[in-house]
Chains A and B, each alone.
Chain A
Amino acid sequence: NAGVTQTPKFQVLKTGQSMTLQCAQDMNHEYMSWYRQDPGMGLRLIHYSVGAGITDQGEVPNGYNVSRSTTEDFPLRLLSAAPSQTSVYFCASSPTGVGEQYFGPGTRLTVT
């Protein structure tokens, strides 16, 4: 049972580049979410999904896109990377939105 997996673990981008952070879960959870973690700011919700085909914005959605074509996968796309998007990104899944969240190991992204 792999739980929540994220790839890559580390990534360096140049300003303006695009990329996709991958997230997959094998627990058949309906709810998935993306957070970013910045020093002194805790975790902030970027986007979330309550099931395949349904996504919604969180607290800090600008500059990010998501889609949910399957229950298992919830990729996060950076459209045009900016230095302000340097952060650690966590994907999480849960049976419900406010139930126990199962977190992936994170992706550390640096934008230069």
Chain B
Amino acid sequence: AQSVTQPDIHITVSEGASLELRCNYSYGATPYLFWYVQSPGQGLQLLLKYFSGDTLVQGIKGFEAEFKRSQSSFNLRKPSVHWSDAAEYFCAVGDFGNEKLTFGTGTRLTIIP
């Protein structure tokens, strides 16, 4: 069965600094990978997804993620964070065979001035 690990529960970053959120997955075949963002009191919104092809994926709000098969990772990056990026971020892996998504436990991002 697939699984996702987000090793950082909470990250604090200064506004304007760069950001990297870690995600490691376990899956037997080529995974379908996603990053979602959840603002306080809201539902989840898709930031970006990887199905195949170019391993560097661009998403909304200036985010990108890189799929590294050798490291089983799909880390999310942003070169310069804004106060509005404060939210919780979830990595997810999809199994096309059983049509299920498995989510990580999330990383809460705090932005300081």
- Seen from chain A, the residues whose Cβ lies within 8 Å of a Cβ on chain B are 4, 31, 33, 35, 40-45, 48, 50, 58, 90, 92, 96-98, 100-101, 103-106
Contact = CB atoms under 8 A, between A and B. Distances in A.
Contacts of A43: 44, 90, 103
B90 to A, nearest CB: 6
Contacts of B98: 97
A106 B43 contact: yes
Contacts, number: 56
B32 interface: yes
Nearest 5 Cβ contacts at the A-B interface? A97-B99, A98-B94, A103-B43, A42-B105, A43-B103
Nearest to B93: A98
Given A43-B90, A90-B43, A103-B43, A98 B103 contact: no
B112 interface: no
Interface bracket on B:
20 to 34
A98 B36 CA distance: 13
7 contacts: A42-B6, A42-B106, A44-B103, A45-B102, A98-B96, A100-B49, A105-B43
Interface string B23-39: 00000000010101000
B101 interface: yes
A92 B34 CA distance: 15
A33 B100 CA distance: 9
Given A31-B99, A43-B103, 14 more contacts: A35-B103, A42-B6, A42-B105, A43-B90, A48-B100, A90-B44, A97-B101, A98-B94, A98-B95, A98-B100, A98-B101, A100-B34, A101-B44, A101-B46
